[in-house]
Chain A
C-alpha cells in the first residue's frame, strides 16, 4: 500500500501539468509578496496627522463655542460628544509621541467603541460617517461595513492593550505575515487554493488510462486504489500551501511575522444589533481554517474520484469548479436568507469569513457557524466517499 502511495506521489510530482501549476502558484504568491502586499493600505490605518487634525479641529471648536438657548442642535450635539472623543484622540496622540503602543491600543479601543456609539445610531444617511474608505461608489452597505470595522477594531485593540507580546504599528495595521495570511483567507486565497487543488487532482484517475496494463494488474481493490489516489491528491494539494511559504517569509522579514497569540475577531450574530465581537487567537483561527481547507480538499478530490469513475473524462471533472461559485447565487447581502441553506456544503466556501463569523454579520444570519460548517463538509465528504465505495463495487474500474 505504501509502495503504491510512493509510486503515485512520484507520478504526481513529476507530472508536467502539476509542476507548472506549482510554479504558477509560486510566481503569483511572490508577485503578491513583493508588489501587492507592500502597497496594502488598510482603511483603519494609523495616521497621526489625521488624528491630530481631527483633534485640533474639535479642540478649536470646544475652545471657542458658546452654547446658549437657541444654539443649533448639532452645535449642542458636537459640544456634548467632542470632549470624550478628543480625550481618546489626545491619549492616542500622546501614546504615539511617547511610543507607548499598549496605551495607544487602549485609547484606540475606547475611541472605536465611542465613535461607533455616536455614529451607528445616526444611520446610513447621517452627516456622521465612519472612516471614508467604506463609502465607495455603489456600496449600499458602507454604514454597516464601518460599524463592523469599528467594533471589531475596538475588540482587537482591547486585546492589544492587554497583550503580553510586543505590539507594533504593523500589528495594528494587520500587515504582519500571519495577519496577511488571515486577511487573504478571508478573501481570495481559499478560492485560489481550492481551484489549484481541483486542477492538481482532476487527472489523478484518468491519467491511468495511458498505463492500463501496468496499473490494472496491481493487487489492490479499486476502492483502495481510489482512496490511495485521494491521499496522494490531498498530499499534493497540501504542497500548494507549502509553495506559499517563500512569500510568507518575504512578508514576515519585511513586516514581521506576528505571533500565534494575535487576536482575530470572531462575530456572533444576534438580532437587533446585539451581535457580539470576541477574540480568538491567530493560532486557533489558522487551525480552524486549515481544518476547513482540509475538508474542502477532501470534498473536491472525492468528487474528482467519483466523476472519474462515472463519467471518465478529466475535462468534465473541471466542472466541479462550479461549486465554488454556487453560494453567490443564494447568499446575497441584504436578502432574506433561509436557514436550510446553511446545510449546503457550498455555503462554507469563504473559509476565513466563516471562521471569523463575518459571514454571519454580512448575511445577518446565525446559521452559518464554523462547527456546522465542519460537520456539513465532513458529512458531504463521507457521503461522496460512500458513493465511490458503492460504485467501485458494482462498476469495473477500467478507465
Chain B
C-alpha cells in the first residue's frame, strides 16, 4: 500500500501539488492524467523521493517513509520508475540493461530471458541501444522495470512511441502484473487505451485531484449526453438553435459538442437526432462522457 498524506510541492510561489491525499492499494492500476507541466511527473518524483515535498509525507507498506538515506534505499528496493528512453546507455546493449535491473533488484527480479520472449525483443536485444528505434527503446525501458518486478511500479508515458500491437502487448502484461498484486501508477496525457486497463483514473489540475473515476464501481455521474463532432460545429449549432432556441451545450477542446439529453423533451430529442442524422459529415453518439470528453472538459481553456 502507498499512502500520500497532504503532499504539497511548491517551487517558489508556484504550488505544483497542493495537498494531495490518497491511497493506492495492491493490485491496482492507477492512471494519472493531466496535460504536460501540471504536476504528474512531480507526483511520481515525490513517490521516488527525487523531489522532497514542502509538506506531507508518503508512506509505503504502512510504516516506511523517506526518513533517511537508508530508508530511501530500502524503499527503492520496493519501487521502480520506468527509465526514460533517452537515459539508456547507447554503447551497451539491451541485455546489459536488463541484467543490471535483475542484479540491482535481485530480491524480486525475474529472468530477463522470459521478459525478452514475452515482449518480442529477441531480434534486437543484443544490439547496442543507439541502433534502436523509439518504440524499441520504449519496450526496453518497460522490460527493465518488468525484470526488476518490484511491488510498486511507476510509469511515465509508458505507451509513447509504441505501435498498436505493442500497446496491446504491454497492456496485457500490465494486467498480469496487477493480478500479481502490484501497484502500478501510470502517468499519461494519452488517454487512448488507459481507460481499458486502469482501475482508477485521477485527473490532476491546480495541484489537486479534480476528478477521480474508479472503473470497478458504477459511475456516480450517470448523465447521458448527446455528443457529435463535425467540421462545421458552429453551423450545425446554429441550425439546432433554430428549432431549440434555449439550447444548453458545450463545445469541448477535442471539437466535440456535448449536450445533456435531459434538457430535451422526447419530441425535441427525436427532432434533434433526425436533424443530425441528415448531416453525413457528422459523427454522433449518445452516452455518458468518456475519458477523452472529461479530459477536454476539465482541461480546455
A221 to B99, CA, bound (A): 20
B188 to chain A, nearest CB (A): 16
Contact of B73 among A6, A220, A398 (CB under 8 A): A220
Contact segment of A184-192, A210-218, A343-351: A210-218
Instruction: Give chain A nearest CB distance to B140 CB in angstroms.
Output: 11
> With contacts A4-B103, A14-B92, A216-B50 known, is A221 near B73, CB below 8 A?
yes
* Residue contact B76 to A7, C-beta cutoff 8 Å: no
Which residue in B72, B79, B82, B103 is a CB contact (below 8 Å) of A221?
B72
Say yes or no: B69 contacts A7, CB within 8 Å: no
Of the candidates A3, A213, A223, the one whose C-beta lies within 8 Å of that of B104 is A3
**Residue A222 CB within 8 A of the other chain:** yes
* A-B Cβ contacts below 8 A, count: 73
Asked if B81 is at the interface (CB within 8 A of a chain A CB), the reply is yes
**Also in contact, A393 and B69, with CB within 8 A (given A7-B103, A218-B104, A219-B104):** yes
Q: Which chain A residues lie closer than 8 Å to B76 at the CB level?
A: 217-220
Is A333 interfacial (CB-CB < 8 Å)?
Answer: no
The residue from B69, B79, B100 contacting A223, defined by CB atoms under 8 A apart: B69
Chain B hits for A372, CB < 8 A: none
> Known interface pairs A214-B83, A219-B73. Does A4 touch B104 (Cβ–Cβ under 8 Å)?
yes
B-contacting residues, A220-258, CB 8 Å: 220-224
Contacts of A220 in B (CB 8 A): 73, 76, 104
Establish whether residues A211 and B106, one from each chain, have CB atoms under 8 Å apart when the complex forms: no
Decide if A10 is an interface residue (CB 8 Å cutoff): yes
Interface size on B, residues (CB 8 A): 32
Residues of the B chain whose Cβ atoms lie less than 8 Å from the Cβ of A218: 76, 104
Asked if A281 lies at the interface with its beta carbon under 8 angstroms from chain B, I say no
Report if A68 contacts B (CB, 8 A).
no
- In residues 257-298 of chain B, which contact A (Cβ within 8 Å)? none
* Interface of chain B residues 50 through 77 with chain A (CB within 8 A): 50, 52, 68-70, 72-74, 76-77
Q: Please name the residue on chain A nearest to B102 by beta carbon.
A: A3
Shortest beta-carbon distance, B213 to chain A, in Å? 29
Q: A398 to B144, alpha carbons, bound, how many Å? A: 21
How far is it, in angstroms, between the C-alpha of A51 and the C-alpha of B81 when the chains are bound? 79
Q: Are A11 and B92 in contact (CB under 8 A)?
A: yes
Report the Cα distance A223→B88, complex, angstroms.
23
Expressed in whole angstroms, the minimum distance between the Cβ of B29 and any Cβ of chain A is: 20
> Does A72 sit within 8 A of B, measured CB to CB?
no
Closest A residue by C-beta to B52: A396
Given contacts A214-B83, A216-B50, A221-B73, 20 further A-B contacts (CB under 8 A): A2-B103, A3-B103, A3-B106, A7-B100, A14-B91, A16-B91, A210-B87, A211-B87, A213-B81, A213-B83, A213-B87, A214-B87, A214-B100, A219-B73, A219-B74, A219-B76, A220-B73, A221-B70, A393-B68, A396-B52
Q: Please name 12 pairs of A and B residues whose Cβ atoms are closer than 8 Å in the assembled complex, sorted by A.
A: A2-B103, A4-B104, A7-B104, A10-B92, A11-B92, A16-B91, A210-B87, A214-B144, A219-B74, A221-B70, A221-B73, A396-B52
